[in-house]
Chain A
Amino acid sequence: MKERKKIGKNIFVNLPISIVLILSFSFLLFPVYWIFTMALKTNLDIITYPPKFFFKPTIKGFQYILGLVKVISDVGVSAGVESWFLVGIKNSIIVVVSTILISLAVGLPAAYVLARYKFKGKEDIAFTILSFRFAPPLLVIIPLYLLFSKIGLYNSYISLIWVYQLISLPMIVWIVRGYMEEIPMEIEQAGMVDGYSRIWIFFRLILPLAKGGIAAATLLAFIYCWNNFIFGMILAAVYVQPVTVQAMRYLTPDAIMFREVAAICIGAALPLLILSIFLQRYLISGLSMGAIKR
């Protein structure tokens, strides 16, 4: 053990490791950096070759997508007077928050039942829920489009919330189930001996004890739903589409407004970043388990 530590501290081993880490890290973060600079460039700066690393930054792109400036991008083309970004953010929040709330309301009891009860076909049900994640969205999107058009759900929040369950429900059920299985059965049995019902045990013992896992699952499901593009694009039109699809408003037949697309990308990522920071505490305690001292 001691020998190993010594080797670990050796500069000839550590230096190359650090270099590899720095390289891979910059490789991963470079696109983020580039999008960020793009959002601050003029369109001309964006399309020049060789690419410009030093330029005069402008916040016009952000102003434009927020609808603060009515004048148009510097190519002189308008994508409309509306702030498509704000429309998209509003839609995304409505759709994703509703999706997650419904998934939690349905998924948490389902996870509990799958974790604790014994019944025939239990694993089949669990597998079916998981299999929602197997099918590529493109495979189901056309039939869903036809179906929703027929029953009049095309271009409605309900249709998106419904379809997004395919993304969030399996995640919440499967992740939370694992956490609930970790909670010792004896704690529940103690509740029963003390005269409590299973409902009380679920709300007062199981949910608080699984909250780390619930937070982790919620965040993951939120990210996947928020980043979804294809469902919103096919199943809804302009005023219902989420922020990811709204970025396309700036790809007009006349011009591709790279700066605005970049700005909207950053704007769309911000809520996720804030949510992650907010839930980080639970994520760490949740993912490290051992929340229950045995």
Chain B
Amino acid sequence: MPKISLKNVTKKFEKIVALNNLSVEINDGEFFIILGPSGAGKTTFLKVIAGLENPENGEIYFDGDLINNIATAKRDVALTFEDYSLYPNFTVFNNIAAPLKSSANKNKYNTKQIREKVDKFTKMLSINHLLDRLPSELSGGQQQRVALGRALIKESKVLLLDEPLAHVDAKIRNQLRTEFHFLREKFRTTTIYTSHDYKEAISLGDRIMFLNKGEIQQIGIPEIIYNFPKNTIVALNVGWPEINLFDCSVNFENSQLYCPKGDFVFNISGNVLKLLKIYGKSEYLVGARPHHISFSDKPSDVYNLKAICGTSEVLDNQSVFYAKIKNLDLTILVNDPDLSLRYKQEVWLSFDDQSLIFFDKETNENIKLKE
């Protein structure tokens, strides 16, 4: 299993920069997730590694060997496409067996061995009963399994999965996600997996790379990405409901934060104040995750910010409601499926100041990750 490294890779399509000077190292046997909104360059990243796109600039190494000029067929990579791209004129069996029969594997397997291998993998993916069908006769989830089968049967050193769960319905998605955990433990192949769903990324990834407009925003283990987003782009895209972001200025004398949009102040503890003092600026973009805001229907010392309740919705065993302090809209997540809040009711809020994330107002970067 190789270590993959990219150095200063740039890929352009006409005038659009799909990948901008990317350098990243992916470890041997790692399950590496590329997270990002659509158009971030995720698919291009995979295609560059597979050799389907040639970068204008930069080098790609497998285990230290430069592979820029090696053809796709010889790279020992397997790739599943976002739209599956099964061969429409081949049966499921022939689709899955295709890599074994290719010229790259000439005469390596006889008919019996091919049948056995296809059998093994289709059983594992529970598509054994579909072997004689054509791709057009399969559901989306089944097509995805066939695509996975075609990629896994190669038993290549590198496995590239392009949004494998994006187009299957919710139930199948959960099922397949569990299966990916299984595959990951079973094969320990170096895997690069793209996704636009942060939950998927956090659940599966050894490490996550957040990509936006062809640029790396942050690379890190899932906990870091979630708790210490490098900048506001990462913060806004990781976590649901979306993080609350608002401008604040610090009053160092009475250790208070003032939010002009909501026209309110709230106290912050000594350690937070110290952090801000070290950073030295007085204006910040403050991020508060929806579950780091709590509420009460009566005012108290803790719950001292008056807000007007907007609409609310229930999600499984949690609820989300929207509240307004003057002109500031906030989203609040509560671990209570049974909120009895009326529309336009007064509620009293409190921020958990230890969990607030501070971003530099000019660069939008997390001040904790500055160095």
A binds B: yes
Interface 0/1 of A175-212, CB less than 8 Å to B: 00000000010110111111111001000110011000
Q: Are B88 and A189 in contact (CB-based, < 8 A)?
A: no
- Report yes or no: A195 in contact with B52, Cβ–Cβ below 8 A: no
Could you tell me the distance in whole angstroms from the C-beta of B107 to the nearest C-beta in chain A? 13
With A189-B47, A189-B52, A293-B136 as known contacts, state yes or no: A194 contacts B98, CB within 8 Å: yes
Q: Tell yes or no: A294 within 8 A of B by CB.
A: yes
| Chain B positions 41 through 65: 1 when the CB is less than 8 Å from some CB of chain A, otherwise 0 | 0000001001110000000000000
Q: Are B79 and A193 in contact (CB under 8 A)?
A: yes
Whether B85 and A194, one on each chain, are in contact in the complex, defined by CB atoms closer than 8 angstroms, is no
B83 lies within 8 A of A184 (CB): yes
| A193 and B135 alpha carbons, distance in the complex (Å) | 19
Give per-residue flags for A97-137: 1 if the beta carbon is below 8 A from chain B beta carbons, else 0: 00000000000000000000000000000000000000000
**Residues 58-85 of chain A: 1 if any B CB is under 8 Å from the residue's CB, otherwise 0?**
0000000000000000000000000000
A259–B87 alpha-carbon span in the complex (Å): 55
Out of B83, B89, B99, B136, name the residue touching A186 (CB < 8 Å): B83
Nearest to A186 among chain B residues (CB) is: B85
Q: Of B83, B88, B89, B99, which contacts A194 at CB under 8 A?
A: B99
Q: Do the beta carbons of A193 and B52 come within 8 Å of each other?
A: yes
What residues of chain B lie closer than 8 Å to A292, measured between beta carbons? 88
Q: Which of B70-78, B233-241, B316-324 contacts A (4 or more CB under 8 A)?
A: B70-78
Total contacting residues, chain B, CB less than 8 A:
27
**Measured between alpha carbons, how far is A292 from B51 in the docked complex, in Å?**
25
With A189-B47, A195-B99: A205-B87 Cβ-Cβ less than 8 Å: yes
Q: Is the CB of A196 within 8 A of B103?
A: yes
The reply to whether B81 and A209 contact each other, CB–CB distance below 8 Å, is: no
**How far apart sit A192 and B53, CA to CA, in the bound complex (Å)?**
12
Interface status of B183 (Cβ within 8 A of chain A): no
Kindly state the separation between the CA atoms of A291 and B102 in the bound complex, as whole angstroms.
25
When C-beta atoms are compared, the residue in chain B nearest to A190 turns out to be: B85
A187 and B102 contact, Cβ closer than 8 Å, known pairs A192-B73, A193-B79, A194-B154: no
Within 8 A of A (CB), among B102-154: 102-105, 135-136, 150, 154
A192 to B77 CA separation, bound complex (whole angstroms): 10
| Min C-beta distance of A180 to chain B, whole Å | 14
A interface SS class: helix
In the complex formed, the residue of A with least CB distance to B102 is A195
Determine if B81 and A186 form an interchain contact, defined as CB atoms under 8 angstroms apart.
Answer: yes
Find chain B residues with CB under 8 A from A197 CB: 73, 103
Contacts of B87 in A (CB 8 A): 187, 190-191, 204-205
Q: In the complex, which residues of chain A have a beta carbon less than 8 angstroms from the beta carbon of B99?
A: 194-195
Q: Is A195 a contact partner of B81 (Cβ separation < 8 A)?
A: no
Contacts of A193 in B (CB 8 A): 50, 52, 72-73, 77-79
What chain B residues lie within 8 Å of A184 (beta carbons)?
83, 85
- In Å, the complex CA distance between A190 and B81 comes to 8
Say what secondary structure dominates the interface of chain B: mixed
**Chain B residue nearest to A194 in the complex (CB):** B99
Q: Given contacts A197-B73, A293-B135, A294-B83, is CB(A192)–CB(B52) below 8 Å? A: yes
Complex CA–CA separation, A205 to B83 (angstroms): 17
Which residues from chain A contact B105 at a C-beta distance below 8 Å?
195
Q: Please give me the residue from chain A that is nearest to B154 by CB atom.
A: A194
- Which of A192, A197, A200 has the most B CB atoms < 10 Å from its CB? A192
- Contact across chains for B85 and A187 when beta carbons are under 8 A apart: yes
Q: Are A195 and B89 in contact (CB under 8 A)?
A: no
B163 to chain A, nearest CB (A): 12
Please determine whether B73 and A189 come into contact, CB atoms closer than 8 angstroms. Answer: no
Contact with B along A144-182 (1 / 0, CB 8 A): 000000000000000000000000000000000000000
Contact with B along A265-289 (1 / 0, CB 8 A): 0000000000000000000000000
Closest to B71 in A: A192
Residues on B with C-beta less than 8 A from A189 are: 47, 50, 52, 72, 79, 81, 85
State in angstroms the CA–CA spacing of A194 and B283 once bound together.
55
Q: How far, in Å, is A245 (CB) from chain B's closest CB? A: 42
A154 to chain B, nearest CB (A): 45
Within 8 Å CB of B136, what residues of A?
293
B103 x A200 contact (CB < 8 A) = yes
Residue of A nearest to B47 (CB): A189
Flag if B83 contacts A195 (CB, 8 Å): no
Q: Which residues does chain A contribute within 8 Å of B104, judged by CB atoms?
A: 195-196
State the CA gap A191–B104 with chains docked (Å).
11
Closest chain A CB from B64 CB (angstroms): 23
Report the bound CA distance from A292 to B135 in whole Å.
Answer: 10
Select from chain A the residue with minimum beta-carbon distance to B105: A195
**Of A190, A191, A195, which is in contact with the most chain B CB atoms at under 10 Å from its CB?**
A195
Q: Specify which chain A residues have a CB less than 8 angstroms from the CB of B50 in the assembled complex.
A: 189, 193
Q: Is the CB of B89 within 8 A of A196?
A: no
Assembled-state Cα–Cα distance A187/B90 (Å): 12
Chain A residues in 8 Å Cβ range of B98: 191, 194, 196
User: Please, how many angstroms separate the alpha-carbon atoms of A189 and B83 in the complex?
Assistant: 12
Pick the contact of B88 from A191, A200, A293 — CB < 8 Å?
A293
Q: Is the CB of B102 within 8 A of A194?
A: yes
Which residues of chain B are within 8 angstroms of A195 by Cβ–Cβ distance?
A: 73, 99, 102-105, 154
Residues of chain A whose beta carbon lies under 8 Å from any beta carbon of chain B: 184, 186-187, 189-197, 200, 204-205, 208-209, 291-294
A-B contact pairs, 5 of them (CB 8 A): A189-B72, A190-B79, A190-B81, A195-B154, A292-B88
Q: A186-B83, A197-B103 are in contact. List 9 more A-B contacts (CB 8 A).
A: A184-B85, A190-B85, A193-B72, A193-B78, A193-B79, A194-B73, A195-B99, A195-B102, A196-B98
For the complex of A and B, list the 8 residue pairs with the smallest distance between their C-beta atoms, beginning with the closest: A195-B104, A195-B102, A186-B85, A194-B99, A192-B72, A190-B85, A208-B89, A195-B73
